[in-house]
Structures are given as structure tokens and as C-alpha cells.
Structure 1
Amino acid sequence: MASNRPAPEALYVPNDSAEGPDGSPGFAAYAPQESWEEWNPTAESIRPVRGRHRVHKKGGGGLARSSTVLGVGVIAAVGAGGIATAQGGKPPVSIAMPDMSAVTDQLPEAKSLPGVGSLIADDSDGGADTSTVAAPLSSAGVTTADAERGTTGAGEALRARIMQQAENQQHQADDAQRIAAEDAAVKKAAEQAAAQQDKAQAAAKAKAAEEKRKKEEAARKKAEAERLAKLAKSFSLPTSSYTLTSHFGDSGSMWSSGQHTGLDFAAPTGTPLKAVHTGTIKSAGWSGSYGYRTVLELKDGTEIWYCHQSSMSVSVGQKVTTGEVIGRVGATGNVTGPHLHMEVHTSGGANIDPLAWLQGKGLNP
């Protein structure tokens, strides 16, 4: 293909008397400088559009193309009206523009905008208050609650929220500590109450055990007293109207062994002597330092010796019962006065305290 020259330019010559091709007045006369030839536009032959322009992508947002479309629409409308008037003689279409005075009256002055007044102030405002420069340029992040507290800057609002969050966390920590202290106090009180309850229960158990022991002890003593009372009915003191003068184990030169081996009942001569229990007469007669002595053998083998008698009323092998008279008080043998010298010997031959033995039978000499 042959290269093309740049597109020819039409020469406009204003001439009110000239007529256009269609005979209409007011059009310029065209006077081509060169002869016409076929022209094919190419990238090299098209003159570049001077000035800044923006190429919009196909399918872009309507907001990005709104101004361009509006401008093209207005030009098209105006052109269509003029062409219609020129061709058909119709009156031009009037385009009503909105009255912007009502809007501009409500807009704030530029000087009152934060951080802007100082930028457009003239030299005469050199002494004006520059406090507006420090005003925040944006209120992004400022909530209604922040505005109510007087917070206008995003940084101040963020700081206030951080401080509020820290305060809330401190309150939560204090609440947790308080709850923990209350729980500890409740637990301690419960433990103290449980300890006191255990102590009270232990004291109650101890008291009940003591009362039980006392009752058992009282019952035992009562049973023992009943037993002794019953036993006393089958045992008897050896004499009456007496005075105990010497006890078992007393020491002195009056006794050959150096110690007294029995219990002395001092009584007038002739006072009756009775069998302490049912038994058999084992011996009856003279026995040296013991004078006249009667030996009563009980069923269990225990021997009761009646010494220093003035007279004897039984013989060997005789069966006697409790309280039966077997002799009388005297002063025979090694004595200092009339009395009954009573000795108790076990079945094994041991010499024991007659007073303790009588007490064990429920008798109190």
C-alpha cells in the first residue's frame, strides 16, 4: 500500500455573502489548496491530539465516564438543535441549568475547614489564629460515643479506646481477684464450720461415751453391791460389840514372827463367836500361844482360825452354818487381854489379811 500524506486541512474563509453548497447563508467558502485524492488514515498520518487525555477501559465504571458522557451529551444536544434549526427552521431547544446558588450558600467557607484556611489565607491574615492547623484532617474512626466525650481526632479516639480497654481489663482483673477472695473466704468459713461441727460431734461422742462409761460403772457397782449384799446374807462377822485393836501386818515384839498375822477383835470375855460361813470344823483344842483355837474349813478350802477362846462349842467334823455359835471370847494363850485373834488361810496354806477377805464378802468390820 502506498504511503499516505497527512489529512488535508480545509480552509475556512469567512464571507457573509457567500453561500454554501446547499445555498444556505452564513457558511464559509471552501477553497482547497490542492486537488483532492483518496486518503486512508494510518497511525502515522493521524495527527496526535494535543493536551492531556484519559483512556478509559471498555466496560469501566459509570462513575469514571459520567463527566465525559455528560459533556458529549450536551454537545450533541446543542449540535442537534442547531442542525435542526438550520435544516428545518425549527426553534432551538432550550436547556435549563440548575440554580447552584442555593447549594453554594450552604457550603462552608474554605477558611473554616480544618487545616485548609491557613493554606489559602493571604498576607493580611498573617496574625490570624493558627490553631486550626492543629485540627485533625480526618475524623475516621471517631464513633458517636467518642464525639460525645469530646474526642475529635482518630488518634485521640484510638488512645481513648485503648485506655478504656485497659481500664476494663483492670476492672476484670479486680473483679476476678475479688471473686477469688470471696471464694477463699467462703471456703475458709466452710472449713471452719466443718471443723467446728467435727469438734462438736467429737465432743458429743466423748460426752456420750463418758455418760455410757458412767452408766456402765454405776451398773457394775450396783451389780457388785447386789452381789455383795446377796453374799453377805451367806456370810457373817465373827463377833459383835467389838473393837479392832491390831491389824494384819502390824510389827512388834509381842509376836514371835515380828509381825501380826491376823485381825484382833477386842471384846468382853464370854462374847459369842459365830461361824462366818457354812463349813466343817477341822480342828478344835489347845494350840500353844493361840490358846484354845477352833479351825473352820469352808467349801473352797479356805480355813478360818478362832484363837484365844475361853470355851469351845463344837467338835472336829461337825457341820456348822453361817452365824452359828462355835465358841466364846477369852484370853487364853499369849495375850494382853480378852479378844478374838482371827486368821484366814487359803487352800494353798497362804496367810492373808482377814479384813480384806471379809470386805470381799460384803462385810465391813
Structure 2
Amino acid sequence: MASDRPLTESPFIPGQRGGTDTFAYGEYRPDEGPWQEWNPTEESLAPLRGRHRVAKQRGGGLARSSTVLGVGVIAAVGAGGMASANTGKPPVSISLPDLPSVGSLLGDDSGTGGDSAKASQASLSTMTTVAGSKRSDAGEALRNRIMAQAEQQQTQVADKALTAVETAQAKRIAAAAAAAEKAAAAKAVAAKAKAEETAAKKAEAERLAALAKQYTLPTSSYTITGTFGQAGSMWSSGYHTGLDFAAPTGTLIKAIHSGTVTQAGWAGSYGYRTVLTLDDGTELWFCHQSSISVSVGQKVGTGDVIGRVGATGNVTGPHLHLEVHPGGQATGIDPMTWLRGKGLNP
């Protein structure tokens, strides 16, 4: 690949003359010399064909030119050795100019390549870091979005639970208020009813008190021995038709209320009887008297004596048999109820 011609000497064959195979290394051997100094020039290093020239480049061009030059020198040295071997002549001594050593050139080139590799590695590392950072950012964004969605869902669940609690509480409050209102209304109704009842009782008491002044019991020092409706064979109707006041014979009998005497005399099983008709038409029968103190048509007032207790008629002992016939009807009513209705309590 070098531009100089091969030598015409006999080729050098290593190992034919004994000793170690050396080539310009170690001790001096006469069969290897004499050496001729060869100084390569720009013309000798020019390429054999084509217009291949090492162009000067900007920036890193010096390193690439030096690399090419070093490769050319190595090729030339190899070619010279091959020529010496083929011609059999002693190898020519080669003196290299003060150029950067091939090692340094290769070192520079490798250094440049190392820098490029380092730059590429740094760029790759940067890209990896950026990609990792982007992935990290994307993961962080996804995580934040998931956390935000979870928080939003938790907030919605909490709001829903709070709304349910508030609704239930409102319902309970409304139910309690309705129950309280109902209880208050019932209490008010009860209070009103009680007040009305109290007022009615008071009014009735006042009325009875007023009536009591107008009415009186027919006798005193008595004992109730027979009541209305009491069944027994002693009465012809099969039941007792009046109210019996047992008292000693001769006890005074008084007019319960003012009225007119309509009957006075003997009445069979009733014995001596006096009938007092009140202003409202009610007839009061006083029976079994021992004596009568009034006559028919006589007007009497409340508390006037009309006769005495006796045992005449169908009796077993002295007593006053009292009957009440509203409107003069034949069938009487319970004298106890009628007397109580007039404010009297036998």
C-alpha cells in the first residue's frame, strides 16, 4: 500500500540462520543489516489510485486525519517488511518524523471515541433518566388521579351516609314532634274533657243542691230493707216495685216535694196510702201508713207531714213503702235513682 518500490535483494526468511526470530528487535545481527533510513513524505504516502485525500475538517478533523496518517504509516512499514522478506536484502532502517505516535493517535481517537461513547452513554443515560422521569411522572399522575378518585368516592360515600343519617334524624325528629303534638292534643282534649266534666259535675251539684232545698227524704231514723226490682214470692208481681224505709211505727212521713194530694185512704195490700202528685205530673205513693194526716185536693209543701209509718196491708213489719210513677203511669221506676236525681242520697 506504500508508494516506494520493493527491494531487489534476496528475501529474508526468519528462522533459517539459527537463533531467535527477530526483526529489528533485540541484539544486532549482521545478516539483518545494513539498514537504510526511510523518511516517508507526503508524496510517498499518497494513495495509489483515485483522488482520495484526507480532507481537513473543522473541530474533530485533526484527530481523524492523524488516525488516517497513522494507518498509512503502519501499512508502509508492513509493506517495507514484506519487500525485504521477498528480496532477501537486509531490512532498511526507518526513521519516523516527529509525529504523534500511533498509540497517541489511537489514544486520541479512542479518547475521542471514548468521549463520544461517554457522550452517547450520557445522552442515553439522560434519555433513560428522562424516560424514567416521564414514567415516574406518569405513574405519579396516575397514582394521584386514583387517589383523587378514591378520595372523591370516599367523600361521596361519607356524604351519602351523612345524608342518610340526617334524613333518619329528621324523620325521628318529625315523628317525635308529631307524637308530642298528638300527645299534647290528646292531653288538651283530656284536660278539656276533664274540665267539662268537672264543670258539669259542679253544675249538677249546684243544681242538686238547689233541688235539695226543694226536695227532702220522706222519713228519718230508717233502714233500707227492700230495693226496686228485688225478686220474691212476697210480692204479687213477683218482684218488689218500690223502696222500703224500715222505721218504728208512728215515725213521721213528710212530703218529698210540693204538690197536691190526689188520693188518701185504704188501698188493699198497700194498706193506708197517700198519693202526692207533683207539678210535673209525677205521682209519689206513700204506703202501709198507720195514719193519714192530709186529705184529697190538699196542697202541701216540701217537708210537710202527711202521715206516720205503720204496718198496714201486706207487710212483715212497720216500714214506709215508696213508689215513683212518672206522668201517673201504672208502672213505676226505681225510687232510689229518682231521689238521687233530686239531690237526695237515701
Determine if the TM-score, normalized by the shorter chain, exceeds 0.5. Answer: yes
2:137 maps to 1:137? no
2:340 pairs with 1:356: no
Gaps of 5+ in 2: 1-113
Compute the displacement of 1:350 (Å): 2.5
Q: CA deviation at 1:266?
A: 0.8
In the alignment of these two chains, the number of paired residues is: 234
SS of 1:352 mapped into structure 2: coil
Find the counterpart in structure 2 of residue 179 from structure 1: 159
Q: Secondary structure at the match of 1:153?
A: helix
Residue in 1 that maps onto 2:24: none
CA distance in 2, matches of 1:111, 1:182: 64
Letter of the 1:355 partner, please give it. Answer: M
* Counterpart residue number, 2:85: none
Give distance in 1, aligned partners of 2:175 and 2:315. 73
Question: 2:209 is matched with which residue?
Answer: 229
Comparing 274-283 with 197-206, greater Cα deviation is found at 197-206
Using structure 2 for the length normalisation, give the TM-score.
0.63
1:271 deviates by 0.8
1:254 corresponds to which residue?
Answer: 234
Identity %: 55
Relative to structure 1, the CA distance from residue 190 to residue 112 in structure 2 (aligned partners, 3 Å threshold; closer, same or farther) is farther
Q: Which residue in the other structure is 1:339 paired with?
A: 319
Q: Secondary structure at the match of 1:186?
A: helix
Which structure: greater helix fraction? 2
Q: Which letter does structure 1 place at the counterpart of 2:340?
A: Q
Map Cα deviations across residues 77-135 of structure 1 (whole Å, 9 max, x no partner): xxxxxxxxxxxxxxxxxxxxxxxxxxxxxxx944444xx239xxxxxxxxxxxxx96x4
Aligned to 2:210, the other structure's residue is in SS state helix
How far off is 1:273 after superposition?
Answer: 0.5
SS in 1 for 2:127: coil
Please give the TM-score of this superposition, normalised by the length of structure 1: 0.60
Aligned partner of 2:142 among 143, 162, 170: 162
Amino acid of the structure 1 residue aligned with 2:301: T
1:117 matched residue in structure 2:
121
- What SS does the aligned partner of 1:304 have? strand
Per the alignment, residue 310 of structure 1 pairs with: 290
Once residues 359 and 343 of structure 1 are traced to their aligned partners in structure 2, the CA distance between those partners, rounded to angstroms, is: 14
Contact 1:281 1:317 in 2 (8 A): yes
Aligned pair partner of 1:207 in 163, 187, 190: 187
Q: Contact 1:138/1:154 (CA < 8 Å) preserved in 2?
A: no
Letter of the 1:289 counterpart = S
Q: Per-residue deviation at 1:188?
A: 2.0
Q: Offset at 1:136?
A: 5.9
Counterpart-to-counterpart distance in 1, 2:331 and 2:234? 22
In the alignment, residue 342 of structure 1 is paired with which amino acid? L
Which position in structure 2 is the counterpart of 1:263? 243
Asked if structure 2 preserves the Cα contact closer than 8 Å seen for 1:358 and 1:364, the reply is yes
**What whole-Å deviation, never above 9, does each CA across 1:257-315 have from its counterpart, x for those lacking one?**
22111111111111111111111000101111111110001111111111111111111
Which consecutive residues of structure 1, in runs of 5 or more, have no partner in the other structure? 1-107, 119-131, 143-151
**TM-superposition CA deviations, 1:67-86 (whole Å, max 9, x none):** xxxxxxxxxxxxxxxxxxxx
Amino acid corresponding to residue 306 of structure 2 in structure 1:
I
Aligned-residue Cα RMSD (Å) equals 2.4
Match of 1:122?
A: none
Q: Please name the residue that 2:175 is paired with.
A: 195
Q: What is the DSSP-based 3-state SS (H/G/I as helix, E as strand, rest coil) of the residue aligned with 1:269?
A: coil
Higher relative contact order (CA 8 A, sep 6+): 2
